[in-house]
A = this chain, B = another copy of it.
């Protein structure tokens, strides 16, 4: 099956307790595409860069089955740039710089071949752009996944709600789920968010794992305790990419298969954070990935025993 992914391709300058890297490759669409490319070689990328973005990066993705027909390159302009510093505990970060550059004028036009993509992954971007991409599809996709964040809830809630109404899966963190729903309890937040449109709600909790809500069913995917989290940047996008890649490969959007997809997403995210930028995601072996999938399995498997209580 084919994937369509829209999002940023960017340069990041990142400081974590483990070090600092300057102007490395980043962006939601880049992480999503790399993570998905291990499972699907029919990926339609929609993004925008300046003429400073390295051709070699574009070529590498192309070699992994990512179509670049939807990549716009603006001569004489710079690519989106973000710099940030992670706190000591890695759970928070401060944004130091956000230079929109080419992103300020991003108005994606889908190539015709993209318009019948089956799995749609909307990376974190302005709701306007996400909506415009959905509106250009000519056939109903099998699944639309939306990633967004509190920033858009704060400044563009109405437009965001329009997008949310059109998607099957929403991925946000726990605080964002509470903000969006106005409910403190995640169970109640999920019920409310289902009523907004998405049949599936995925709550990403970083090192604490992820929760999947669907109807009245819940799945709790563990977070893999990693010896050293070097750089959390892109973890959420790697999660989304791994999940959508697996879903497009297996072409099964049952709740049962969504659960396994979340383990695939968690697996790709666990690699992502082990090094700066995309370093870990560029050269994973089948053995590394299968070993990690088995680690997730052993981490959540136990013997269920029902004992008579003493009453």
Contacts and interface: CB of A to CB of B under 8 A. Distances in A.
Interface of A: 17, 37-41, 64-65, 88-90, 184-188, 190, 205, 207-209, 211, 217-220, 222-223, 225-229, 246, 249-250, 256-257, 259-260, 262-263, 284-286, 289-290, 293-294, 297-311
Given A184-B17, A209-B220, A302-B219, A289 B309 contact: yes
B205 A39 contact: no
B256 A303 contact: yes
Contact of A303 (B188, B209, B257): B257
Contacts of A303: 256-257, 259-260
B299 A220 contact: yes
Contacts of A289: 309
A122 B124 CA distance: 48
Secondary structure dominating the interface of A: loop
A302 B226 CA distance: 22
Given A211-B225, A309-B284, A310-B64, A293 B299 contact: no
Given A17-B184, A38-B310, A260-B304, A220 B219 contact: no
B88 A184 contact: yes
Given A184-B89, A220-B209, A303-B260, A310 B225 contact: no
Contact of A310 (B39, B256, B297, B306): B39
Contacts of A40: 310
Contacts of A260: 302-305
Given A187-B227, A229-B185, A300 B300 contact: yes
29 contacts: A37-B310, A38-B311, A39-B307, A39-B309, A39-B310, A41-B310, A65-B310, A185-B225, A185-B226, A185-B229, A186-B207, A188-B227, A205-B208, A217-B298, A220-B222, A220-B300, A222-B222, A222-B300, A246-B307, A249-B307, A259-B303, A260-B303, A260-B304, A260-B305, A262-B302, A263-B302, A285-B309, A286-B309, A300-B300
